[in-house]
Structure 1
Amino acid sequence: MANLDSLDNKVVWITGASSGLGKALAQECALQGAQIILSARRFDELENVRVGLLHPDHHISIAMDITDESQVRHAYEQVLAKKGRIDWLINNAGLSQRALISETTMQTERAIMEVDYFSQVFLTKTVLPTFLKQKSGRIVFVSSVAGLLGTQYRASYSAAKAAIHMWANSLRAEVAQDGIDVSVIFPGFVKTNVSINALNGDGKAQGHDNEATANGLDADEFATQSIKALMSGEEYIVVGGAKEKLGVFVSRLSPRTLYKMIRKMRVK
């Protein structure tokens, strides 16, 4: 576990950087002196984020669809051509869900797994040779408290977020001798468009917020806590309100009690 005093001139690649958690993480990393590579599908939205960062000319926008392997490879080549190295990779791009299992088509199940699991795996495997060559770096995955607990209306999302957590654990063990650190962040409810963009059973965006997300932690506060924890070398980072932290604690102490708590939850 490497401690970092500063992110000065470190190259940080963030996916899903055009809004929400990714944008907030980019802002915080820029404040800490990092050079950011912003990635998401839409270049113009990335540029809107970039020009709002501290020292905008230190950062670059590279658009890519994370589920398109050729676009991901091309983006990676551009990053190396322009920056020559990658110090942190923050796998943040993600897609949520708000639908009962009985209403969710297999196509939607697969779409969520593609974005939240397989695409993260592919990008990490693509970037890994650079980290191995450098003998340094940190790979970060933004999972979710849902990936630790599993709640109603989020079965596929919870499963994908749990899957990436376990994959990250295996990766951490395999690259520990190579100077590479692996961290997983588990956000609880944070104020973003995650609920508005969440998929219903038919794979369409839900289009509205929910109370829990609307009353969640500010994205800026999430980013401040997350980057501080990453810089101090933490590997298992739960960021959320008291309710989510209690759920994680109970899940370790007594799964049976947790299952009873979840049955009574009314969060959609």
Structure 2
Amino acid sequence: MKLENKRILITGGSSGIGYATAQNLLQRGARVAISGRRQEALTKAVEGLRSFGDVTAICADVATGEGREETLSQALAALGGLDILVNNAGGLRAGPLSQLEETDIMKMVEVNLLAPILLTRAALPALEKSGDSMVVNVSSALALVGIPFYSIYAAVKAGVAHFGESLRRELKGEGIHVMTVFPGGTDTPMMKTSNAGPELGFTLEPVEAVAEAIVAGMEEDALTVIRGGEQRQEMIALNRTDPAKLDERFAGLKDTLADAVKDHTAL
């Protein structure tokens, strides 16, 4: 897909992968609207992005029906239509399932799974009108290899990945492509409260590299973009061929991992 002059909405675009992807797309001549929950962060993001191109900020929470309606209506008004929807907004809370608060579980389901499904459904008429459009769903490497203490986050990210796969086949031949992104550990604000390091398999990739891969995938009409390097690819392969071996590996790390991620939250 040629990205120049494409009208693009990126949820969760005020920082991290969303922000870096917005910058990359603006440099390619796209017109971009970013959404987020915090006005201060959006204002700062727009100040940083404006030198790269035409960007609009929308303060709304896509985890709510009202927020999704506001996000889409403002994006359509600012852009004059929609060619690409990037479902990037997300949040997590790590910890043993028995210790997670029900409210945190519900928040993860709402922002990571329900929001992209319902926002995509609402955006379909505009995407159909475009005739050359795309939905990009940002999932996670944890959707491919689940690890201890991230059971809910892994579940919702696997859900959005399979939502995208099914929808891609549903819309095949109708002018709307669907691409799913599986970032590994990425150096973003979401990871600031995690103390898990390389010794536990958490090597953080620069956010710019992940954004570059996402945009390259969009240009190539890729089906998926999987990050995390050779080590991640080996884990994915092992999870298919001998998952019990991974079970044993994580069992040996469980106590150390539990302590490292006990404060990991981004909700």
Q: TM-score, normalised by structure 1?
A: 0.87
**1:210 equivalent in structure 2:** 196
**1:19 equivalent in structure 2:** 15
Report the CA distance shift for 1:194/1:140 in structure 2 as closer, same or farther (over 3 A).
same
Give the partner amino acid of 1:173. Answer: R
1:83-232 matched pairs, under 5 angstroms: 83-196=79-192, 207=193, 209-212=195-198, 215-232=203-220
Counterpart of 2:69 in 1: which secondary structure?
A: helix
Offset of 1:99 from its aligned partner?
0.3
Moved more, 222-231 or 181-190: 222-231
Offset of 1:240 from its aligned partner?
1.6
**Are the counterparts in 1 of residues 184 and 227 from structure 2 also a CA contact under 8 Å?**
yes
**Are the counterparts in 2 of residues 217 and 240 from structure 1 also a CA contact under 8 Å?**
yes
User: What is the aligned-residue identity percentage?
Assistant: 27
Counterpart of 1:62 in 2: which secondary structure?
A: strand
Moved more, 139-148 or 38-47: 38-47
Encode CA deviations 1:34-65: one digit per residue, 9 max, x unaligned.
11101001223222222222645611111111
Counterpart of 1:185 in 2: which secondary structure?
A: strand
**1:243 equivalent in structure 2:** 231
Counterpart of 1:152 in 2: which secondary structure?
A: coil
Structure 2 unaligned regions, length at least 5:
262-267
- Distance of 2:151 and 2:19 partners within structure 1: 26
**Are the counterparts in 2 of residues 27 and 54 from structure 1 also a CA contact under 8 Å?**
no
Offset of 1:26 from its aligned partner?
1.0
Counterpart of 1:176 in 2: which secondary structure?
A: coil
Moved more, 79-88 or 249-258: 249-258
1:11-90 matched pairs, under 5 angstroms: 11-53=7-49, 55=51, 58-90=54-86
**Are the counterparts in 1 of residues 91 and 112 from structure 2 also a CA contact under 8 Å?**
yes
Moved more, 185-194 or 70-79: 70-79
**Are the counterparts in 2 of residues 216 and 241 from structure 1 also a CA contact under 8 Å?**
no
- Distance of 1:143 and 1:96 partners within structure 2: 12
Give the partner amino acid of 1:80. Answer: L
Give the partner amino acid of 1:257. Answer: K
**2:6 equivalent in structure 1:** 10
**Are the counterparts in 2 of residues 24 and 219 from structure 1 also a CA contact under 8 Å?**
yes
- Distance of 1:143 and 1:8 partners within structure 2: 25
Give the partner amino acid of 2:132. Answer: S
Give the partner amino acid of 1:134. Answer: S
Moved more, 49-58 or 176-185: 49-58
Structure 1 unaligned regions, length at least 5:
197-206
Moved more, 238-247 or 59-68: 238-247
- Distance of 2:35 and 2:51 partners within structure 1: 18
Report the CA distance shift for 1:253/1:15 in structure 2 as closer, same or farther (over 3 A).
same
Offset of 1:13 from its aligned partner?
0.8
Offset of 1:82 from its aligned partner?
2.0
The size of the alignment, in residue pairs, is 254
Please tell me the root mean square deviation across aligned C-alpha atoms, in Å: 2.0
**Are the counterparts in 2 of residues 191 and 214 from structure 1 also a CA contact under 8 Å?**
no
Q: TM-score, normalised by structure 2?
A: 0.88
Give the partner amino acid of 1:18. Answer: S
1:248-259 matched pairs, under 5 angstroms: 248-259=236-247
- Distance of 2:230 and 2:250 partners within structure 1: 15
- Distance of 1:167 and 1:99 partners within structure 2: 25
